[in-house]
Structure 1
Amino acid sequence: MLSTSPLPIRTECPPGTCVCERESLLNDPAGDMRILLLTRMEEKKLIARIESISSYADLQHMAERMQAQLGIVVRIAPGAREVRTVRGLTIELLERPGLCKKIRQTIPAAIRKCLDRNPEIVYAILDAHDLFGDM
């Protein structure tokens, strides 16, 4: 169990503010505890790293690393309606036990900030979803 591990784990959220199911994850011996390794300090480093992304390949690499190391799956896709700005993209984290409400908000916000500064990444995302195909 991770609670006896020398690695620091994320502190629990104040009661009633989050639905991350941290306690049930800690009590599940078969549960994937990697997400709890994202302490508040590590979260700040992750957010800074996401905001400094400068290419689509770097964004994909970062998403792969988050999935491999923390079990966080990030999905970025064009929204159901037309995409005129970064707000037209859907950025979501797949639900899983231990994924704090705050993390569910800060990671997509950091990605949007990165995309606002780098519109070429937005074009690459749209192209990857075949919105510019066969023009």
Structure 2
Amino acid sequence: MTASLPPRQTCPPGLCTCGLERLLETPGADTRILLLTRPEEKRLIERLENLQSLADLEKVQQRMFEQLGIRLSIAPGFNEVRSMRGIAIQIDELPGLCRKTRQAIPAAIRRGLEKRPEIAYRLLDAHDLFRDS
């Protein structure tokens, strides 16, 4: 017995490049991203804005992959990191992930890092950015 997925509001045609139609038409496709409904997306964004530690951020990254299939990588950018904008946040291409959500997740992470800069420092330290200081 298969559980049906909750209905998810589709993007207007031509405005989004999420590829939701292709995802639904492909048999055997990974449909975990369809579990990210609008209320769940708001909860995820709120959770990312209220990070407590680097371990908490890594736990959320892992849960996003396990539950939704979203691969998220966070690392210092190629140039100097003078602000939270210098931290590179990449989301791998995923059919069904809305363009707005793809932009909202990194923005929420940056807001969370701005609230708690010590998380950003731990992230930079984990990538050996402070090795010469």
State the TM-score, normalizing by the size of structure 2: 0.94
Gaps of 5+ in 1: none
Q: Take 2:106 and 2:80, find their aligned partners in 1: how far apart are those partners? A: 19
Q: Once the 2 structures are TM-superposed, how far is the Cα of residue 29 of structure 1 from its aligned partner?
A: 1.3
**Are positions 1:15 and 2:13 aligned together?**
yes
- 1:6 Cα deviation after fit: 2.9
How far residue 36 of structure 1 moved from its aligned partner, in angstroms, is 1.0
Aligned length: 132
SS at match of 1:114: helix
CA contact (8 A) 1:77 1:90 kept: yes
| Preserved CA contact (<8 Å) 2:45 2:108 | yes
Matched, 1:102 2:71: no
- The list of structure 1 runs, each at least 4 consecutive aligned residues, that deviate by more than 2 angstroms after superposition, is 4-7
Structure 2: runs of 5 or more not aligned:
none
Determine the structure 2 residue equivalent to 1:116.
114
Query: Aligned partner of 1:127: which letter?
Result: D
CA contact (8 A) 1:25 1:33 kept: yes
Report the alpha carbon displacement of residue 128 of structure 1 after superposing the two structures with TM. Answer: 1.2
- The amino acid across from 1:70 in the alignment is L
Separation (CA, whole Å) in 2 of partners of 1:127 and 1:6: 44
Aligned residues with identical type, % of pairs: 58
